[in-house]
Amino acid sequence: MLVRHGHSAHVVNAGWIDVAGVRRWREAYDAAGILESSVPPPALLAQAAIADCLISSDLSRALASVERLGPAAAKRVSPLLREMALELPRWVRARWPLAVWEVCIHAHWLGQQLRGAIAPPEELRRASDAVEWLDEVSRESPNIVVVTHGAFRRLLGRRLVETGWTAHPRVGGYRNWSWWPFER
């Protein structure tokens, strides 16, 4: 099961920022945990309670999310599961509020996907490495919950299906605390 982390505790008040400001915002976002009020839904807590292993990205918001999911027979952490940094579009050259940057970044990513480039080659390799590792872990612990991030979870899900896993209906779409079940 691939889970998107809880709501970030990072304060969004960035004002009007340029490319360097977006990079600084990302660093602060990656360093932040999750809001105290961000609680997994009961159905996700029930799934985590029966998991053999809880696995997490090494970023703070994912680590904090795993702690909210509760105890498990085993817990593991891997940088393979980190979020991928979506490319900052070169065509945006001014200072903008973060919300405008987010729209531009996601529009740029959508354009890349429409051209068949869902991610840079190094990110695709990392997703393949992560799936290979998760496949090994699932042999020891068949029921695993993996806490990762929005964009990278798309790569993981796609790669799982490409390697023979079956995707089941997504719960919660792309929101925080949403989960995507897979079965081998």
pLDDT in tens, 111-158: 888 888 889 999 999 999 999 999 999 999 999 999 999 999 999 999
In terms of DSSP bridges, do strands 75-78 and 53-57 run parallel, antiparallel, or are they unpaired? parallel
> How far apart are the C-alpha atoms of 168 and 48, rounded to whole Å?
17
Once rounded to an integer, what is the mean pLDDT over residues 165-169? 98
Yes or no: say if 74 and 53 are a contact pair by the CB < 8 Å rule.
Answer: yes
Query: What helix, strand, coil percent values describe the chain, rounded to 5?
Result: 45, 15, 40
> How far apart are the C-alpha atoms of 155 and 23, rounded to whole Å?
22
CATH code that applies to domain 2-183: 3.40.50
Once rounded to an integer, what is the mean pLDDT over residues 66-86? 92
pLDDT band at 44 (very low <50, low <70, confident <90, very high): very high
In the chain, domain spans: 2-183
Distant-in-sequence, close-in-space partners of 24: CB < 8 Å, separation ≥ 6? 17
